[in-house]
Amino acid sequence: MSIKIGLLGFGTVASGIPFLLKENGEKVLAASRDQLKIAKVLVKDDEEKNRLIAAGNDYNFVTNVDEILNDDEIQIVVELMGRIEPARTFITKVLEAGKNVVSANKDLIATHGKELISLAQDKGVAFYYEAAVAGGIPILRTLANSLTSDKVTRILGVLNGTSNFMMTKMVDEGWSYEDALKTAQELGYAESDPTNDVEGIDAAYKAVILSQFGFGATIDFDDVTHKGITNISTDDVAVAQELGYVIKLVGDVREVESGISAEVSPTFLPKNHPLASVNDVMNAVFVESIGIGESMYYGPGAGQKPTATSVLADIIRIARRLSDGNVGKPFNEFRRDLPLANPADVKSNYYFALDTPDEKGKILHLSEIFNSEDISFEQVLQQKANGTTARIVVITHAMSKTQLKAVTEKLEAAEDFTVVNTLKVLSN
């Protein structure tokens, strides 16, 4: 007996599934208990179909999704098209047809996951998406299964390979943001429009999903504050190095007394923190919990074989549940009502870079502004004084988002200070 699969799309990741089925067939068969067979593959049009056949691909390519929807023998449909539409429409139709779904579409799951998960439950079918976060790193299943007995308190993650490649070049080789982006585009790591990667949007989608699996929370994409790396200068990088830090784009999801907080932002990481050594296009998820304490999960966040490995693991899990007769069990069973945190309860250290006239008394005035919001300094550094202007760099002790907002407004209102940049700092 075989379990028949329909693929929606045949791009880089989807074409990796046949490779794994062939190269690891014996283990896959033992794990799934049935032969897995790709029955039909949906492609965009006849032109793409003909191109794929000419390239030697021997599959039943179709150009109408109805041919998969109406095929009663197809039990699992794998969506690897990307973007929200038409993927959302197709997955909805697949679930309504009573077929199980595997997806790697983080954008879709972060924005419409609630409705699709609910529909899958109503229809008694599976909807799995391990590959939607950190590619080949099995972080979602780890959180859902291996850490089910532990209480997660915070998840930190380097979740976007493109931005991490760029920051690695900026830190290790002193490149400018513009040079790093140009190289990332030339190597195919960044799209011609890199907005989702460099503005933290891609990582924010993943933070939404991590909040579900780590904390049982259901938050919206708009609840995740995100700031990208576009304003990181070589000066910021140099100061970080001097003070014992490296800068990474970090997703930060944590539970505090009043609820859950999720954000993505460039962050000063101490050089001895495990995430500080995650370089180039690699991803990592760092979990703080009351049982294990600290653990990190590291690996490639994208690429054909790593992502296809996670996708195929989902397919195998569904195949086993089809065999056991409990396929409708949800991917993530941990759900609870968890409100958004009060900004006054979400505390971090912060880096401020400010320009000021090169005159006496400016550091004293700066101290007075911060003291007015009950914020103290951990480190102060004056640099680039030229008789006209000077750059003052401050690392604060922990303060709340409420204090951050208030002191930033006061600094922006002060005539003798210009805020150049503000970044979060992870304390030792």
Exposure letters 62-98 (e unless 16+ CB within 10 A, then b): beebeebbebeebbbbbbbbeeeeebbebbebbbebe
Q: Which of 99, 169, 206, 401 is catalytic?
A: 206
Q: Using the 8-state DSSP alphabet, how is residue 390 labeled?
A: E
Cis peptide before 343 (omega within 30 of 0): no
> In this structure, which amino acid lies at residue 244?
G
Respond yes or no: is residue 206 known to be catalytic.
Answer: yes
CA atoms within 13 A on the CB side of 6: 26
DSSP per-residue letters across 238-289:
HHHHHTTEEEEEEEEEEEETTEEEEEEEEEEEETTSGGGG--TTEEEEEEEE
Residue 275 CA to chain centroid, in angstroms? 14
Alpha-helix residue ranges (DSSP H) falling in 284-346: 304-324
In this structure, the number of other CB atoms found within 10 A of the CB of residue 400 comes to 19
In this structure, the number of other CB atoms found within 10 A of the CB of residue 174 comes to 12
- Beta strands, E only, 301-398: 347-357, 377-383, 389-396
Cα–Cα distances in angstroms (integers) from residue 153 to residues 110, 290, 291, 387, 411, in the given order: 21, 7, 10, 48, 33
Catalytic residues: 206
